[in-house]
Structures are given as structure tokens and as C-alpha cells.
Structure 1
Amino acid sequence: MENAVPIATPRPGQLLARGVCRHLLHHDFVTVEELVPAPGLRVDVMALGPKGEVWVIECKSGRADYQADHKWQGYLDWCDRFFWAVDAAFPTELLPDD
């Protein structure tokens, strides 16, 4: 296949988002990745739960990824609950307490 388009290797944040979606699926959530709720915003994962609650999950691959994100507080108006998804090596002391 000479015209085959190569498949890009997923970035770490994308892998986190896929894992989050798989986990939530097992808990009867429906998920959408990279949803744009309003101009200038794009949530990594938005999920609708079995009780009708809306969750937003932001996936951060490391310190630089987290520190570059200045929009996450704008997502709070679009959900009932907000979560961070990070890998085991992430410095969790960077994340806000509430």
C-alpha cells in the first residue's frame, strides 16, 4: 500500500485519556475525548454517569503539561465533578487540594 497513512503513536496524555475512558466504561459511564464545551476550551475527557452526573477529567502527562494548562478552572462550570488523571510518576503535590 503505497498511499497508506502511517498511524501516529499516541502521546502520553492520550494514553491516559484512553485508560480513563476504559475504566469509566466499566462503571457504566459514557465518555467523549477532547470535547469542546465552549470556544477556547477543550476537555480531555467528559463523562456522563449512570445517575446523570457529568464529570470532566483532565489528563496530565507531567509537570510541564500541568503548568502549561491555564484553562482547567474554566471547565468547572461544565461539570458536576472534576478530576485529574496522572501517571504514577507525576508530582501530585502540584495538584490543587480541592
Structure 2
Amino acid sequence: MPIVSPHLDNPLIDGRQSVRAMMVRRGVQRLFSDLRLSVVPELTLASGRRADLVALAENGEIWIVEIKTSIEDYRTDLKWPDYRRHCDRLLFATHAGVPMEIFPPDCGLILADDWAGHLVREAPEHRLAPATRKAMLVRFARAAADRLLQAELLAGQV
């Protein structure tokens, strides 16, 4: 077995996220764990776009979180409005180095660091149509199950 592997061995990291984005992601995931929301990162939506985080609440609500780590990151991203069609609540997450006033007031806002997240502004509800909700729940469940299997296979548990 080689000492250094050219392959990604961690199924939870795909290498596309910056160090700051991963920091924010960890803080949001910890916040959502405290709020009893289940989370799948980097979930591909029916539109073909990939959401940074998709969360499932106990009441069946689906939340999408778009992580932004700089003003430029926010200003150059034109895809986030499409996420509304796939969730009940849309939120942005960022860190203390980004001015919070750049984010639209009709979206939720989370401030996060490596250790925690704080819900600065709740997201308004935009209820999904039943067929869209079912499709998102299936997409969420399949992604979560597939990733668990991949992690078990890599750990030699299966």
C-alpha cells in the first residue's frame, strides 16, 4: 500500500471548497446539529446546480444554505436565486470578515466560524409544491445513503 495516495480518500471532501468555505460549513453544520436539522453538503439539485448545504428539519422543511466567503464571491455568483425553487427556506452563511449588509434581506443569514454558527436572520418561508418536496426528499435520502455506504466501504466496514 502506498504511503501517499493520489486519490481523494475522504468522501466528505471533494476539493472544490476553500479553507474559509469549509470553516463556514463546519460552523453551520454544528449549528444545524444543535437545531436538530439533518444536513447533506454539496447536493446536486434537479436543475443541475449544486447547493452548498441542504438541510432537512424534523417537520419536513427543506433549507438550502449558500456559503459566501467574500464580497467578490457573492457578487460574481448568479446562480443562487435558482435555489428558491428547491427549498422552503433559503439562507446565506458567511464569516465575520464579510459585511452582512451585502446579503439580500429576503434570505436568512448565518454567521459562522470553525466551531459554531449563529442564526442572524431567519429565512422567510416559501413552501415547496408537494411534488417538488417529494423529489427533494428522495434526492436527499439517496445522497445521504450513498455517502454513508461510500464512507463504510472506504473504512473497510462493508
SS of 2:105 mapped into structure 1: coil
1:32 is aligned to 2:35:
no
Larger mean Cα displacement after TM superposition, 40-49 or 3-12? 3-12
Q: Which amino acid is 2:5 matched to? A: V
Unaligned runs of 5+ in 1: none
SS of 2:66 mapped into structure 1: strand
What is the CA–CA distance in structure 2 between the aligned matches of 1:24 and 1:52, rounded to whole Å?
14
Q: Which amino acid is 2:60 matched to? A: G
Bigger Rg over Cα: 2
1:50 is aligned to 2:58:
yes
What fraction of aligned residue pairs are identical, expressed as a percent? 36
Instruction: After TM superposition, give the deviation of residue 83 of structure 1 in Å.
Output: 0.7
Deviation >3 Å, runs of 4+: 5-10
What is the CA–CA distance in structure 2 between the aligned matches of 1:72 and 1:23, rounded to whole Å?
22
1:88 to 86, 96, 106: 96
TM-score w.r.t. the length of structure 1 is 0.86
- CA RMSD across the alignment: 2.1
What is the CA–CA distance in structure 2 between the aligned matches of 1:11 and 1:30, rounded to whole Å?
23
Number of residue pairs matched by the alignment: 98
Indicate how the Cα distance of structure 1 residues 51 and 76 shifts in structure 2: closer, same or farther if over 3 A, else same: same
Q: Deviation digits for residues 41-97 of structure 1, max 9, x if unmatched?
A: 111100000111000011111111111211000000100001111111212221111
SS of 2:53 mapped into structure 1: strand
What is the CA–CA distance in structure 1 between the aligned matches of 2:48 and 2:73, rounded to whole Å?
17
Show the counterpart of 1:5.
Answer: 5
- Structure with the bigger percentage of helix: 2
What is the CA–CA distance in structure 2 between the aligned matches of 1:86 and 1:92, rounded to whole Å?
8
TM-score w.r.t. the length of structure 2 is 0.56
SS of 1:61 mapped into structure 2: coil
Unaligned runs of 5+ in 2: 9-14, 107-158
Show the counterpart of 2:81.
Answer: 73
